[in-house]
Structure 1
Amino acid sequence: MSVSSNSVSVFAPASIGNVSVGFDVLGLAVKPVDGTLLGDVVTVTQVDEESSLTVLGRFADKLPSNKEDNIVWSCLILFNQALEQANQQVVNVALTLDKKMPVGSGLGSSACSVVAALAGLNAFYQNHHNFSFSKEQMLKMMGQMEAQISGSLHYDNVAPCYYGGLQLMVPDEEIISRALPSFDDCYYVMAYPGIEVSTKAARDVLPVQYSRADVIRYGQNLATFVDACHRQNKAQAFSVLTDVVAEPYRKELLPKYEQAHDYLTSQGALAVGISGSGPTLFCVVDDKQQAETFAQWLNEHYLQEVDGQSHGFVHVCKADNTGAAELLADS
């Protein structure tokens, strides 16, 4: 993707929603160490004709063929409405979505499209029309679009995808998200098995009520994790990276997950969990060689074939502290 005189391209990275210990309130942006763009790219180009949307990329065929049903088109409509409310001129644009993220993967696929689209539009107007919305305004729009897809408002994917790093959602509509100190020496091995799990299906298996013991354990684990992040106590942080809200119920939806979890834990992983609603598994280590060894094992034992083909992948990642970013012409 490149930037021309009237064009802007923005990349939005994958993210780990929940990070096991913070259901709907914690998220971490990640990037492969080999430079692979794990996320989506949206290019915005000013045109004289009517606005349009083109979808391409490895996972383009998993999206609706009708532009009106594509979330990127909905982002354009919302952004244009916001421009009109701000008394700004709306111009026609051609949008191109390069869909590099699998749908229903637990990697924040919809968030990537939403963030790349809205951040791309904002960068386009800033670069070419001397107007932009604030980051806080943008994040609210992103949350609105994400809620349209999942049916509930939660920022644990869009906030890290947009801001980068490890983000904690706070109950303040003006702040929404606070950055937490992450552990820069840690590697996150991300294994997408190649099957889809819808967010709705993953939410439907969760109980309506939880026991008092589970509520206490959840609060204690999350509080301890946040405290350990601020004190940079890695051992304590990952010792409580346990999901008591979703994983006990969702693991049944994920073939081979329990086997992989038990094996990686026994081999010294700092933590193993389900990324978002799954089926992607994430594994945390602080040694690159160990990360590569685990990646190879997951390639052989966690990826699955659908109709005789494997569409999965494994990436060794680190935290992405940049978030959504404009791509240069030679990217």
Structure 2
Amino acid sequence: MAFVSAYAPASIGNVSVGFDILGAALKPITDQVLGDVVEVHDGNAEFELSCDGWYSGKLPADYKKNIVYDAFEGFRDFMKEKGLPMKPLRMVLHKNLPVGSGLGSSASSIVAAVAALDAFHDNPMTRDEALRLMGKLEGKISGSVHYDNAAPCYLGGIQLMVQERNIISERVPAFPDWYWVSCYPGIQVSTSEARSILPKEYSRSDAITFARQLAVFVQASHTGDDLLAAAVLRDVIAEPYRQKLIPGFAAVREYAQSMGALATGISGSGPSVFIVMKDLEKAEQVQEWLKQNFIQNDDGFCNICRICEEGTVVAWL
């Protein structure tokens, strides 16, 4: 029988220059799958869930502690408020992203689950209703509602969080000739731990630098000035404190600079990193170096990516 499948790509939160308010979706230049897939099938009960995939063993055994179940409950509440019936269903999570990786793992599962549930019920949600539910579910994990992973994962591209006049986010133009070398070293850094290490207050100088760099990056992206955009792609809010949680990060930055990288940064809360390159051959050399010198175990991986402009892909199969 036909079922719905939703693929939600990995994402970079913060993108160095935009703490909690800038995010980018990733798409490998190869056929590598870099994102979670959620299927929704006709079921014999209100809810059933099964999980597979390389990283499924890291998920809680109790399905009620799985974020996909939370997505189901959130969607069910939405349907109840609208006076719409739920169908009996069975969900399958193909967990392709590691938990606590800095690649938007929770957002990928949430976005894929909500998008699949919505399609399975003939799309009762508007885009913004779906996105608000996704942000709310992300907030259950991180402790506060933020969209810098969910918005690019769902909508694609680089997204700037607006959250004014009922606008959640707006797309920022991406540079099509940038290669984003994304590497997960195989260890975990929890979002809560990465947030707790940050100072509660910042200096006026850091606040001004943060605002200036973000404004310049957005402006340069719209005017097509890639060198200017790259020049301000630096993190003064989180990276100075979080880099100590990532073994080998200083060496990564030093090597990337020696290879002519436009920018190097921590992906989300870490421990994944990203390196922006314009030359594919050098990007491949960086990828190989990271595999040999940054990845710490068999759970780690490294991909050369472009920005994923399409975001989540939903299909009936």
Q: Same fold (TM over 0.5)?
A: yes
Q: Distance in 2 between matches of 1:295 and 1:183?
A: 20
Q: Distance in 2 between matches of 1:328 and 1:272?
A: 39
1:170-222: per-residue Cα shift (whole Å, max 9, x none)?
A: 13162110001110111100110000000011001100110010001000000
Q: State whether structure 2 residue 92 is matched by structure 1 residue 100.
A: no
Map of 1:203 onto structure 2: 195
Q: Distance in 2 between matches of 1:302 and 1:327?
A: 36
1:7-66: per-residue Cα shift (whole Å, max 9, x none)?
A: 100000000100000000000000111111101000001123342010111000101010
Q: State whether structure 2 residue 82 is matched by structure 1 residue 86.
A: yes
Map of 1:319 onto structure 2: 307
The alignment of Structure 1 onto Structure 2 pairs a total of residues equal to 317
1:256-303: per-residue Cα shift (whole Å, max 9, x none)?
A: 001111111122000000000000010001121111111001111111
- Picking from 301, 324, 329, the partner of 2:293 is 301
Say if 1:320 and 1:254 are closer, same or farther in 2 by CA, change over 3 A: same
- Picking from 23, 47, 51, the partner of 1:27 is 23
1:171 partner SS: strand
Q: Which amino acid aligns with 1:169?
A: M
Cα distance, 1:328 vs structure 2: 6.2
Structure 1 unaligned segments of length 5 or more: list them.
none
Q: State whether structure 2 residue 116 is matched by structure 1 residue 120.
A: yes
Q: Distance in 2 between matches of 1:53 and 1:31?
A: 27
Map of 1:75 onto structure 2: 71
Whether contact under 8 Å (2:26, 2:305) holds in the other structure is: yes
Map of 1:53 onto structure 2: 49
1:76-123: per-residue Cα shift (whole Å, max 9, x none)?
A: 011011011111111111000000000000000000000000001011
Q: Distance in 1 between matches of 2:293 and 2:188?
A: 17
Q: Distance in 2 between matches of 1:8 and 1:174?
A: 29
- Picking from 172, 180, 189, the partner of 1:180 is 172
Map of 1:244 onto structure 2: 236
Structure 2 unaligned segments of length 5 or more: list them.
none
Q: Which amino acid aligns with 2:124?
A: S
RMSD: 1.0
Identity of aligned residues (%): 46
Segments ≥4 residues shifted beyond 2 Å: none
Whether contact under 8 Å (2:87, 2:121) holds in the other structure is: no
1:176 partner SS: strand
- Picking from 5, 8, 13, the partner of 2:4 is 8
Q: Which amino acid aligns with 1:74?
A: D
- Picking from 233, 247, 259, the partner of 1:255 is 247
Q: Which amino acid aligns with 2:312?
A: A
TM-score relative to the length of structure 2:
0.98
1:290 partner SS: helix
Q: Distance in 1 between matches of 2:314 and 2:200?
A: 41
Map of 1:284 onto structure 2: 276
Q: State whether structure 2 residue 140 is matched by structure 1 residue 152.
A: no
Q: Distance in 2 between matches of 1:227 and 1:162?
A: 24
Q: Which amino acid aligns with 2:97?
A: M
Say if 1:173 and 1:51 are closer, same or farther in 2 by CA, change over 3 A: farther
Q: Distance in 2 between matches of 1:12 and 1:82?
A: 21
- Picking from 266, 287, 294, the partner of 1:274 is 266
